[in-house]
Chains A and B, each alone.
Chain A
Amino acid sequence: MTALLELRDLARAFPVRDALGRARGAVRAVDGVSLSVAEGEVLAIVGESGCGKSTLGRLALRLIEPDAGEIRFMGEDLRTLNPADLRRRRRDMQLIFQDPFASLDPRMTVEEAVGEPLRLHGIVPRAQERDRVAELLARVGLRPELARRWPHEFSGGQRQRIAIARALASRPRLIVGDEPVSALDVSVQAQVINLLQDLIAELRLTFVLISHDLGVVRHIADRVAVMYLGRIVEEGPTEAVFRAPRHPYTRALLAAVPGQGGRDGAKAVPLEGDVPSPIDPPSGCRFRTRCPFAEAVCAERMPLLEGGSHAAACHLQDRLPPARPPAEHDAGGERLRRLQAFFTDRSTSPITKGATTT
Chain B
Amino acid sequence: MSASAIPAALERGESPARRALRRFFRHKLAVVGLVVVLAFVLIALLAPWIAPYDPIETSWSRIRKPPSAEHWFGTDENGRDVLSRVIWGARASLMAGVVSVLGAIAIGVPLGLLAGLAGGWVDALLSRIADAMLSVPFLILAIALAAFLGPALENAMLAIAITASPVFVRLARGMALDAKSTDWVEAARALGNPPWRTALVHVLPNIVPPLLVQGTLAIAEAIIAEASLSFLGLGQQPPSPSWGSMLNSAQRFLDPAPWLAIAPGVAIFVVVLAFNLMGDGLRDALDPRADRK
A contact set with B: CB distance below 8 Å: 61, 63, 83-84, 87-88, 90-91, 94-95, 97, 99, 101-109, 116-117, 120-121, 142-143, 145-146, 148-150, 152-153, 163, 166, 170, 350-351, 354
Contacts and interface: CB of A to CB of B under 8 A. Distances in A.
Centre residue among B3, B12, B291 by max chain A CB count within 10 A: B3
A76 B153 CA distance: 61
Interface of B: 2-4, 8, 11-16, 182-184, 186-194, 197, 202, 205-206, 291, 293
A150 B18 CA distance: 12
A108 B125 CA distance: 33
14 contacts: A63-B186, A63-B190, A90-B190, A94-B191, A105-B184, A107-B206, A116-B193, A117-B191, A149-B12, A150-B14, A150-B15, A152-B293, A163-B187, A166-B191
B193 A120 contact: yes
Given A121-B192, A146-B3, 6 more contacts: A87-B194, A103-B184, A103-B187, A105-B206, A120-B193, A120-B197
Main SS of the interface on chain B?
helix
A61 to B, nearest CB: 7
Contacts of A88: 192
Given A87-B192, A90-B192, A120-B191, A351 B2 contact: yes
Contacts of A95: 187, 190
B16 A148 contact: no
B13 to A, nearest CB: 3
Contacts of A103: 183-184, 187
Given A87-B192, A88-B192, A145-B8, A97 B13 contact: no
A54 to B, nearest CB: 11
Given A63-B186, A105-B206, A153-B14, A350 B192 contact: no
Nearest to B202: A105
Contact of B4 (A91, A106, A354): A354
Contacts of A63: 186, 189-190
A146 B16 contact: no
Nearest to A349: B2
B187 A143 contact: no
B206 A106 contact: yes
Nearest to B205: A107
Nearest to A98: B183
A320 to B, nearest CB: 40
A121 B192 CA distance: 8
B5 to A, nearest CB: 8
A89 to B, nearest CB: 8
